[in-house]
Amino acid sequence: MAFQWQARVTAADHGRLLRDVLRSRLGISSRMLIALKYRGQILLNGQPITVRAQLREGDVIELYLPEEAEARVVAEDLPLSIVYEDEDLLVVNKPPGQIVHPIPPEPQGTLANAIAWHWEKNDISRPVRIITRLDRDTSGLVLVAKHALSQHLLTQHTEMIDKYYLALVEGTPTPLEGTINAPISINTANPVTRLVSPNGRPAQTAYRVLRSGEICLVQARLLTGRTHQIRVHFAWIGHPILGDQQYGHGSPLIQRQALHCHGLRLVHPRTQQELDLLAPLPEDMGFLL
């Protein structure tokens, strides 16, 4: 299995070197160029070409790269809620209670096992390349790259991806709209968790209250991507997420933290068009509302 990537040279790129266009327009790194050179192919108007070739408007660039390895995750016939799929991307709606990747105590039953089954039943052999991850008990949208170049572009250009969450929190934050700006570091007393610390890495979460009350519905947007960021930030301002036993306390109303990644907005790495995807609230959060 190999991917094919095609792009047409525009007037703005006329006269430029192929390697410069690949780096600036597609964001391809030197490492990826080397992989294409030695394990794949770079074609210009259907002919193999050096990356030092000079381009003309209307030229067609094609990239080919075989998969590096067979699928490394055991395929397992599990439910998989597909929100969007094309030749480059897969977006799924993860249920609460499911971990994303196999880990030694839990080698099966994960989202990656379900995706591997989706590949297998479509006669595709490829690694599972998950780009955006969620905690076990956080539900919602997860982005998956279907080949190496798509993975490279999405991970090298994280500004192409916006993630939006819905959360039920205890009490109503004030102001009703703002940005929580508080650095986050590993909790040395319990390395599984995180905490706000002046020695931590910068972390910003934008939020907006959608429904106020003793239990409040908020929309949160990640401006940075720290582990447990939304959960840590809302606990720090005194409004922990409902049911979050790590950063708040349990609740008889819900058996997990009431956090759901409901929106994913990204610039498609191939077409450069904006994708705006949504996932409805899962049953437990919807019931509470």
Q: What is the pLDDT of residues 236-260, one digit of tens each?
A: 999 999 999 999 998 999 999 999 9
Domain membership flag for residue 190? yes
Which residue has tokens 């991850």?
A: 133
- The DSSP symbol for 169 reads E
Lookup: tokens for 244: 């979050």
How far is the CA of 65 from the CAs of 34, 39, 87, 222, in angstroms?
11, 7, 14, 33
- Residue 285, in any domain of the structure: no
pLDDT above 60 for 208 = yes
Residue 1 confidence class, pLDDT cut points 50, 70, 90: very low
Same structural domain, 79 and 152: yes
The domain of 110 spans 70-156
Q: Is residue 87 domain-resident? A: yes
Q: Report pTM.
A: 0.84
Residue 70 pLDDT? 56
Tell me the CA distances in angstroms from 30 to 3, 16, 181, 211, one per residue in order.
19, 17, 35, 48
Q: Name, in order, each residue with C-beta under 8 angstroms of 51's C-beta and a sequence gap of 6 or more.
A: 17, 18, 19, 22, 33, 37, 42
Q: Dihedral of the CA atoms 284, 285, 287, 289 (nearest 10)?
A: 170
83 is a domain residue:
yes
What is the reported pLDDT for 69? 55
In the three-class reduction of DSSP (H, G, I as helix; E, B as strand; rest coil), residue 165 is classed as strand
Cα–Cα distance list, 76 to 90, 108, 135, 141 (Å):
17, 8, 20, 20
Please indicate, yes or no, whether residues 177 and 249 belong to a single structural domain of this protein: yes
- Over residues 269-289, the mean pLDDT reads 92
* 155: helix, strand or coil: helix
Domain contains 37: yes
**Could you tell me if 247 and 186 lie in one domain?**
yes
Please report how many Cα atoms fall inside a 13 Å half-sphere around the Cα of residue 186, on the Cβ side: 5
pLDDT classification of 71: cutoffs 50, 70, 90: low
Q: Is residue 268 part of a domain?
A: no
221: amino acid identity, one letter: R
Count the domains in the chain: 3
Considering the domain architecture, whether residues 74 and 20 belong to the same structural domain is answered as no
The residues annotated as belonging to the active site are: 135
90 and 147: one domain? yes
Instruction: Please give the mean pLDDT across all residues of the chain.
Output: 90
Q: What is the pLDDT of residue 62?
A: 86
* Residue 86 C-beta-side C-alpha neighbours within 13 Å: 8
* Whole-Å CA distances, 239 to 35, 200, 244: 48, 21, 11
In this prediction, residues 80-106 reach a mean pLDDT of 94
Distance CA(287)–CA(272), nearest Å, equals: 38
Distance CA 288, CA 242 (A): 11
With tokens 């597909």, the residue in question is 82
Q: How confident is the model at residue 113 (pLDDT cuts 50, 70, 90)?
A: very high
Strand partners, 232: none
Does residue 11 carry a pLDDT above 50?
A: yes
pLDDT at 104: 82
Write out the E strands in the chain: 2-8, 41-44, 47-48, 60-66, 82-85, 89-94, 129-130, 139-145, 161-170, 177-181, 184-186, 194-196, 204-211, 215-222, 259-267, 274-278
Task: State yes or no: pLDDT of 2 exceeds 60.
Answer: no
Last residue of a domain, one of 156, 181, 200: 156
CATH code of the domain containing 149: 3.30.2350.10
- 275 within domain boundaries: no
Residues 166, 247, single domain; the answer is yes
Q: Do 177 and 137 share a structural domain?
A: no
What is the structure's pLDDT at 221? Answer: 97
**Residue pair 216/224 in contact by the 8 Å Cβ criterion:** no
Q: Given this model, what pLDDT does residue 257 score? A: 97
User: Percentage of residues in the chain with pLDDT exceeding 70?
Assistant: 96
Q: Describe the crossing of helices 18-25 and 30-39 by its angle, rounded to 10 degrees.
A: 120
